[in-house]
């Protein structure tokens, strides 16, 4: 896909995250995009992302919800500020709280569709609700409270 994902705009220093860093060769490397007012990512779990036989590991689903929601928060912050994604200073968010409800077991081997919606947006705090669907059926839903990355945790040159 030629389109740039939210994660492609992360500065290299901040693109090593196990879940969504495009520079982490051992990570999940999820890629999130806008689809109107919603955000979307797709991911096909590997055979070793198993829980009980035939089903996907819940911790993976939680990780996908976490990273997709954080990417959505970053993209939404740029939209909210009327700024181009990736412009300086970087708007990056971290997870303060992650809640996941597992509604149906997810069969291993299927592609997961991960869809986020911004529920609340302020300069320093964004709430994103994210669903994980398989063949159109919602199997898990989550809520992430994202807070702006404190300056003390960035090494970005100003």
* Pick 22 or 154: Cβ nearer a copy of itself: 154
DSSP H or E stretch at residue 74 = helix 58-80
Could you tell me the smallest distance in angstroms from the CB atom of residue 121 to a copy of itself?
Answer: 20
Q: How far is the CB of 79 from a copy of itself (least distance, A)?
A: 22
User: What is the helix (H) or strand (E) element at residue 100, kind and residue range?
Assistant: strand 93-102
Closest CA to 116 of 12, 38, 37: 38
Cα 140 to Cα 125: distance, rounded to the nearest angstrom: 23
Minimum distance, C-beta of residue 75 to a copy of itself, in the bound complex (Å): 17
What are the CA-CA distances from residue 130 to residues 27, 39, 54, 156 (Å)?
A: 20, 9, 24, 29
Do 20 and 7 touch, CB atoms closer than 8 A?
A: yes
In angstroms, give the least distance from the CB of 105 to a copy of itself: 7
Q: Which residue, 17 or 128, has its beta carbon nearer to a copy of itself?
A: 17
| Residues near a copy of itself (CB under 8 A) | 13-14, 16-19, 21, 24, 26-27, 48-53, 55, 57-60, 62-63, 66-67, 92, 94-102, 105, 149, 153-155
Nearer to a copy of itself, 15 or 117 (CB): 15
Question: Residue 104 Cβ, how far from a copy of itself at the closest point, in Å?
Answer: 11
Q: What is d(CA 46, CA 13) in angstroms, rounded to the nearest whole number? A: 27
Nearest to a copy of itself of 82, 151 (CB atom) = 151
Rounded to an integer, what distance in angstroms lies between the CA atom of residue 86 and that of residue 39?
17
């Amino acid at each position: 896909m030629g389109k740039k994902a939210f994660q492609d705009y992360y500065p290299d220093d901040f693109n090593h995250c196990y879940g969504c860093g495009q520079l982490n060769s051992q990570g999940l490397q999820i890629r999130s995009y806008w689809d109107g007012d919603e955000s979307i990512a797709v991911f096909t779990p590997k055979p070793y992302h198993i829980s009980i036989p035939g089903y996907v590991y819940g911790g993976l689903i939680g990780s996908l919800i976490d990273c997709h929601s954080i990417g959505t928060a970053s993209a939404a912050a740029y939209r909210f500020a009327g700024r181009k994604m990736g412009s300086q200073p970087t708007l990056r968010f971290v997870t303060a709280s992650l809640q996941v409800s597992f509604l149906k077991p997810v069969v291993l081997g299927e592609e997961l569709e991960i869809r986020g919606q911004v529920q609340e947006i302020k300069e320093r705090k964004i709430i994103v609700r994210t669903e994980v669907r398989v063949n159109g059926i919602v199997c898990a839903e989550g809520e992430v409270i994202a807070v702006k990355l404190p300056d003390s945790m960035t090494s970005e040159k100003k």
